[in-house]
A and B are shown apart, each in its own frame.
Chain A
Amino acid sequence: MSGLAIEVNGLGKTFRLHTQGDVEIQVFRGLDFAVRFGECVALHGPSGCGKSTLLRALYANYAAGEGSIRVRHRDGWVDMVAAEPRAILDVRRHTMGYVSQFLRVIPRVPALEIVAEPLRVRGVDPADARRHAGDLLARLNIPERLWSLAPATFSGGEQQRVNIARGFIAPMPILLLDEPTAALDATNRAIVAELILERKAAGTAIVGIFHDAEIRNRVCDRTFAIEPFKVAA
């Protein structure tokens, strides 16, 4: 597979803060880029230039105000800017995974179930999904005695690895990664780099934010620089 996975055209994002005097924060405008299957693209630019905002817009977690984000899904294309919620949910279930910086903990739900869930919603047998989740947690050095606990009390690094396991468990054709190694030590960083390289080799299109230059150089094929937004004079 080497066809187009994501095609972004004229993408713009402005936050309008109604409760704070209708302040407008223009983040970016007129972004064009494309990502092919099997390549890893790093978003680049100074802090505050909108890297996370762009990643969230790709996942439709943020509403892009203008432009389009066409994503290869099943046998066609879905525009994440304009599609209905149920179409976007189908893309998230089957095509596009997203590893956020922080794990959103669900009360009472054990780590193993959190990791297995993306497989279960795709119809994988719960026992198989759990076994797979265990393999991945073990690979990421999460001790087995923690698997049956809700991750609320885990350390930052453990929570991030649970989040990574959840993001990588299903064979998504597209993966979005927001600083996947920020809270990890060198050993675990290397494991995450391996996971990313394996996915890439399997044809997954990856877009990520990698502050760690060593990881970035190891896994990314190229960078996409977000131009700082310039106010027209």
Chain B
Amino acid sequence: MNATDRPLLRVERLTKRYGERFACQDVSFDLWPGEVMGVVGESGSGKTTLLNCLSARLGPDGGRVLYNTRHQGMRDIYETSEAERRLLMRTDWGLVHQNPRDGLRLAVSAGANIGERLMAVGARHYGEIRQAATDWLGRVEIDEARIDDLPRAFSGGMQQRLQIARNLVTRPRIVFMDEPTGGLDVSVQARLLDLLRELVASLGLSVVVVTHDLAVVRLLAHRLMVMRQGRVVESGLTDQVLDDPQHAYTQLLVSSVLQA
């Protein structure tokens, strides 16, 4: 059995409570290599809590998150040591925050933001690191002449593209994205979405993308999970869930989108 015969991520009955309230309740799914899964729902539906639990940043109260590691097969990420978990986060996983300033270091240059992730996985050769940073600036459509500029001098859209480059330079297997196009102008969103679509397909990435924007999942996600009050109310093929929603809440969500 080789690695592609198994899911990359297996989530079993994941539950997270804040006091008496369930933020996530009994969430289960498999994510396969190369699959992009969208998670949609209104604010407070539990989708960001779910993303935090999946990306090893928030311990669940119940259930398991199993990750198919390169050398040891399926491991419960909350059973591994802190050091192992940090290594995974540096090498195998990427995390794209809604606000790029949460995912970038604003006091160091654009090139260093990309290079830093490479150095964290052992790259030491300055010329190679700089070359990789230059290549990735190009791939995310940032002029390489800006390599020594600080990200705080960048527009919101450029910062978000820089954050994506910083994440992808180490060739992660799975990337978690929290509202990656939130807070951007519509024209900037379209460009970013197109870029993400192209990168995800060409790198064969697995992605969990949380958003409240149905247009984003329509373009990006193969599969969709609809959450409400901490529970998954519907899941399936993205176009099927959006074009023929079965659950009352999904029907409401889809019918509430304003047509431009």
Q: How far is the CB of A13 from chain B (nearest CB, A)?
A: 9
| B58-66, B130-138, B162-170, B237-245: which lies at the interface | B237-245
Q: How far is the CB of A82 from chain B (nearest CB, A)?
A: 12
Q: Mark B187-199, 1 if CB is under 8 A from A, else 0.
A: 0001101100100
| B47-55, B99-107, B248-256: which lies at the interface | B248-256
| A1-9, A102-110, A213-221: which lies at the interface | A102-110
Q: Are A19 and B194 in contact (CB under 8 A)?
A: no
Q: Are B193 and A60 in contact (CB under 8 A)?
A: no
A15 nearest in chain B by CB position = B244
Q: Are B194 and A61 in contact (CB under 8 A)?
A: no
Q: Are B194 and A86 in contact (CB under 8 A)?
A: no
Quick one: given A106-B194, A107-B190, are A86 and B251 in contact (CB under 8 Å)? Answer: no
Q: Are A18 and B251 in contact (CB under 8 A)?
A: yes
Q: Are B244 and A62 in contact (CB under 8 A)?
A: yes
Q: Are B194 and A88 in contact (CB under 8 A)?
A: no
Interface size bracket, B side: 20 to 34
For A121, give its contact among B190, B201, B223, B252 (CB under 8 Å).
B201
Q: Are A85 and B243 in contact (CB under 8 A)?
A: no
Quick one: given A86-B32, A107-B193, A109-B194, are A61 and B239 in contact (CB under 8 Å)? Answer: yes
Question: How many A residues touch B, CB cutoff 8 Å?
Answer: 19
Within 8 A of A (CB), among B213-249: 219, 222-223, 236-237, 239-240, 243-244, 246-248
Q: Are A18 and B248 in contact (CB under 8 A)?
A: yes
Q: Are A85 and B236 in contact (CB under 8 A)?
A: yes
Q: How far is the CB of A191 from chain B (nearest CB, A)?
A: 28
Query: A36 on the interface (CB 8 Å rule)?
Result: no
Q: Are A63 and B219 in contact (CB under 8 A)?
A: no
Q: Are A85 and B223 in contact (CB under 8 A)?
A: yes
User: How far is B222's CA from A88's CA once the two chains are assembled, in angstroms?
Assistant: 10
For A89, give its contact among B190, B237, B255 (CB under 8 Å).
B237
Quick one: given A19-B252, A109-B194, are A61 and B222 in contact (CB under 8 Å)? Answer: no
Q: Give the chain A neighbours of B178 by CB distance below 8 A.
A: none
For B251, give its contact among A17, A60, A106, A109 (CB under 8 Å).
A17
Quick one: given A61-B244, A86-B222, A106-B219, are A19 and B255 in contact (CB under 8 Å)? Answer: yes
Q: Give the chain A neighbours of B190 by CB distance below 8 A.
A: 107-108
Q: Give the chain A neighbours of B197 by CB distance below 8 A.
A: 106
Q: How far is the CB of A57 from chain B (nearest CB, A)?
A: 9
Q: How far is the CB of A87 from chain B (nearest CB, A)?
A: 10
User: How far is B237's CA from A88's CA once the two chains are assembled, in angstroms?
Assistant: 8
Query: A139 on the interface (CB 8 Å rule)?
Result: no
User: How far is B245's CA from A61's CA once the two chains are assembled, in angstroms?
Assistant: 10
User: How far is B194's CA from A88's CA once the two chains are assembled, in angstroms?
Assistant: 24
Quick one: given A19-B248, A85-B237, A86-B222, are A62 and B191 in contact (CB under 8 Å)? Answer: no
User: How far is B186's CA from A107's CA once the two chains are assembled, in angstroms?
Assistant: 11
Q: Give the chain A neighbours of B193 by CB distance below 8 A.
A: 107
For A62, give its contact among B201, B243, B247 (CB under 8 Å).
B243
Query: A56 on the interface (CB 8 Å rule)?
Result: yes
Q: Give the chain A neighbours of B244 by CB distance below 8 A.
A: 15, 56, 61-63
Q: Give the chain B neighbours of A19 by CB distance below 8 A.
A: 248, 251-252, 255
User: How far is B248's CA from A15's CA once the two chains are assembled, in angstroms?
Assistant: 12
Nearest 10 A/B pairs, CB to CB: A18-B248, A107-B190, A62-B244, A85-B237, A108-B194, A85-B223, A19-B251, A18-B251, A63-B244, A19-B252
Residue pairs across A and B with Cβ atoms less than 8 A apart, 23 shown, are A17-B251, A18-B248, A18-B252, A19-B255, A56-B244, A60-B237, A61-B239, A61-B244, A62-B240, A63-B236, A63-B244, A63-B246, A85-B223, A85-B236, A86-B32, A86-B35, A89-B237, A106-B219, A107-B193, A108-B190, A108-B194, A109-B194, A121-B201
* Interface residues of A, Cβ cutoff 8 Å to B: 15-19, 56, 60-63, 85-86, 88-89, 106-109, 121
Given A18-B247, A61-B244, A86-B223, 8 further pairs, Cβ under 8 A: A18-B252, A63-B240, A85-B223, A86-B35, A86-B222, A89-B222, A106-B197, A121-B201
